[in-house]
Chain A
């Protein structure tokens, strides 16, 4: 809404928002977006967080010709002609963070995630990358969405004593897990938690339980650049000084700005024209320099690494250039295929 107000104040195009809140209920995304786009008076939708919600919306958008500006990091392996993927995919979040921790010798890695596509796919990528680096996977576990029962995970982790935990849990499961883990750390477990889906909102919920967690995102509130400082002051003026913005906020903000630019440049509002008007152009945004690939429809972004300390993200690595998206991980060398040796046994019939 902040970006929309700014766009309207600038006056080049005029945007009117219709807001629908599916309250995280999967079936509601399909119904609400259907109501929005079916008559053709709304062509552009900004939003959706989980991959489930996006996958529920895409068929409706495809039927009615709408365009989703999706502002969240996700697992990749998708290219819909009705989506602009503004969030990071695995070569911009999970691989850099795994490569970063794998620089140190590690005894073993424990993988834990929410039991849906984000958890499955991010941990699959993590598992393969860690295996490529020769780091053994000492455990892998999934929790149902919303499940906060983590005692069995703590028992497994205490027994397997991993050097790193890759955490792809979301929402309340993530918070319950991180809180429970503090006890193990107090008992002497020396483990680094890495995660590609932690935001400032999670830090608020976690407090000191997040301390030491390594995360990666295209934007953090704590970035020191002028664009971020400007955005933060506008956020403070609009929503109050205590409002905490996350990468999701900054990306949705960028999405609205990009949409407005596309509308102005195309001079019309049909999704194909607007997309063609923005694709392939480098924009200077609050996320840093970005550009949307016209074929994969994913965005070049700058992955920043940060460590959580005392409720804030301390930036530990901030590369000066953006990373091109590789949603199907085609530029990542395939793991060498294990040569098929002679089997030890043969069944004779």
Chain B
């Protein structure tokens, strides 16, 4: 499902990590005009970053230890501030999978950058959740096989009919096929054998 877009950032807390005071001041003023609460630091503390709803990071001087999360796993939108365009720094930023980029020469576009970054981060979190769900369901393959075998034996039908029955049950219960399989196995397990 496409997450709904956000266009109003009033009340969010933005942290600007940039060594130049003029850049920090300029960006903070623009963010304040958009209704955000701001903070700006250099060097940055992890406590301050943990408190942020959105993070602006200077690509030229950013480094891995800056963030209290693994590369690509930021729980908030992160925006790279582009200044020198040095290939190595761009590679570092891309490795972190920043959600949007704002060239310092285009500070007037901070609003659209916020919209893009927030939408991108929502999509990123959606992908992470989906990947986790796929991994969880893959882990239940054995349950699926056992449930199909059990239905075949119980109802005297072939595997295609058993799978169809299981799918119908999943749809009726609005659950994943693997979860329906687990339910079949649980329901058919004698009470005394069930895990508590």
Interface locus among B48-56, B72-80, B166-174: B166-174
Contact across chains for B4 and A331 when beta carbons are under 8 A apart: no
Q: How large is the interface on A (under 10, 10 to 19, 20 to 34, 35 or more residues)?
A: 20 to 34
Q: In the complex, which residues of chain A have a beta carbon less than 8 angstroms from the beta carbon of B8? A: 328-330, 332, 334
A-B contact pairs, 10 of them (CB 8 A): A79-B111, A293-B33, A295-B32, A330-B10, A334-B7, A334-B8, A338-B4, A345-B174, A348-B167, A348-B171
Q: What are the nearest 3 A-B pairs in CB distance?
A: A330-B35, A295-B33, A334-B8
B29 and A346 contacting across the interface, CB-CB below 8 Å: no
Of the candidates B10, B107, B175, B176, the one whose C-beta lies within 8 Å of that of A331 is: B10
Contacts of A331 in B (CB 8 A): 10, 35
Which residues does chain A contribute within 8 Å of B175, judged by CB atoms?
A: 346, 348
Which residue from A78, A337, A346 sits with its C-beta under 8 Å from B4?
A: A337
Interface residue A342 (Cβ < 8 Å from any Cβ of B):
yes
A103 within 8 A of B: no
Q: Report yes or no: A330 in contact with B30, Cβ–Cβ below 8 A.
A: no
Flag whether B108 is at the interface (Cβ < 8 A).
yes
Residues of B within 8 A of A343 (CB): 174
Question: A192 at the A/B interface (Cβ < 8 Å)?
Answer: no
User: Do A79 and B171 touch (CB < 8 A)?
Assistant: no
CB of B9 closer than 8 Å to a CB of A: yes
| B34 CB–A CB distance under 8 Å | yes
Which residues in B have some Cβ–Cβ distance to A below 8 Å? 4, 7-10, 29-30, 32-35, 107-108, 111, 167, 170-171, 174-177, 180
Q: How far is the CB of A266 from chain B (nearest CB, A)?
A: 20
Complex CA gap A81/B176 in Å reads: 53
Decide yes or no whether A296 CB sits under 8 A from chain B.
yes
Given contacts A77-B111, A80-B108, A330-B10, contact A342 B4 (CB under 8 A): no
The interface residues of chain B lying within 8 Å CB-to-CB of A81 are 107-108
A346 touches B108 (CB 8 A): no
Closest to A344 in B: B174
A105 to B158, CA, bound (A): 63
* A104 CB within 8 Å of chain B: no
A338 to B1, CA, bound (A): 14
In angstroms, Cα B10 to Cα A332, docked, is 9
Give chain B residues whose Cβ lies under 8 Å from the Cβ of A296.
33
In the complex, A88→B170 CA distance in Å?
56
**Nearest-CB residue, chain A, relative to B29:** A295
A337 CA / B4 CA spacing, docked (Å):
9
Q: A346 CA to B167 CA in the complex, in Å?
A: 11
Residues of A within 8 A of B4 (CB): 337-338
Q: Digit string of A50-80 for contact with B (CB within 8 Å is 1, else 0)?
A: 0000000000000000000000000001111
Interface pair A295/B174, CB less than 8 Å apart = no
Q: How far is the CB of B34 from chain A (nearest CB, A)?
A: 5
Chain B residues with Cβ under 8 A from A23's Cβ? none
Given contacts A81-B108, A346-B175, A348-B171, contact A334 B30 (CB under 8 A): no
Q: How far apart are B81's CB and chain A's nearest CB, in angstroms? A: 17
Residues in chain A near residue B108, CB distance under 8 A: 78-81
Type the 1/0 row for A290-329, where 1 means its CB is closer than 8 Å to any CB of B: 0001011000000000000000000000000000000011
| Minimum CB–CB distance for A83 against chain B, Å | 9
Interchain CA distance A23-B177 in the complex, whole Å:
65
Contacting pair B30 A346 (CB below 8 A)? no
